[in-house]
Amino acid sequence: MTLNCRGNLVDLTRRHAMAILNLTPDSFYDGGRLKSDEELLRLVETDLEAGATFLDLGGYSSRPGATDVCEATEMARVIPAIATVKREFPEALISIDTFHSTIAEKAVQAGACLINDISGGSRDEDMFQTVAKLQVPYIAMHMRGTPQTMQSLTEYKDLLQEINLYFSGRVNRLNALGVNDIILDPGFGFAKTTAQNYFLLKNLPLLYHSELPILVGVSRKSMVYKPLHACADRALNATTAVHILALQQGASILRVHDVREAREAIKIFEVFESSSSLIQ
């Protein structure tokens, strides 16, 4: 239960927070907030001080219906930013959020140590070979279609079975290439209704290869705020509640906008989990 992030061993018997750093103008909650290197570095410093283990930098918005952008635009957003963060925070563990193998490779060369692929290798046939060559941990997320089409692809005969088959094929292919540091992301909100998201959360331990670490990304998503008739800006408390549920169901990593609150949830959960029985 460790990840080898370019020589840094991350203990996955403990739970971790991954900070979301969107370098996009149109992400669903924080798009357009990081307009300069100074703003990016301030947020990185805040997140690291709050206890983030990983920093997840992305230059392609994957919110439902987001505008598709070309690879060159995504590259221009993320590669200089990774280099900037690595220069100021050389010990930071940076994840690149991309489904393009060329961007993943450039990002690792610039200082990233983890690849977070929302497509699970389905958008770029060279991704798995690139991960194997780079020998960095890989996050495989479940999704259908693209951010532009996924809302219309929510019909499943058997949700868990289909997701397990999806992960089975990918894990086997990655293992055959010599990739062993694999994290599974069920893809909450990606081609799934609110009811399907909660069913998946409730059955998280039944995912294929449950011995592999699971990343849960629910931070301020519609599955959190829609039941409350609220919005993303008012979803922090509800997000924390769902984070506790995810930790109870076995999540190893929480991908979050609000690191301090996520780390507090993890701390309380760990205290609860380790408490001994009360002796009368």
Which positions are catalytic? Answer: 221, 255
Q: Please name which of 88, 92, 108, 89 lies closest in space to residue 100, comparing C-alpha atoms.
A: 108
CA distance 220 to 210: 25
Task: State the maximum Cα–Cα separation within the chain, in Å, rounded to a whole number.
Answer: 65
Token pair for 209: 């290869």
User: From residue 224, how far is each of 33, 221, 256 by CA, in Å?
Assistant: 22, 5, 13
CA distance 130 to 49: 32
Long-range contacts of 131-135 (CB under 8 A, 24+ apart): 131/104, 131/174, 131/177, 131/179, 132/174, 132/177, 132/178, 132/179, 133/105, 134/104, 134/105, 134/108, 135/178, 135/179
- Asked if 218 contacts 243 with a C-beta cutoff of 8 angstroms, the reply is yes
- Asked if 249 contacts 204 with a C-beta cutoff of 8 angstroms, the reply is yes
* Identity of residue 269: F
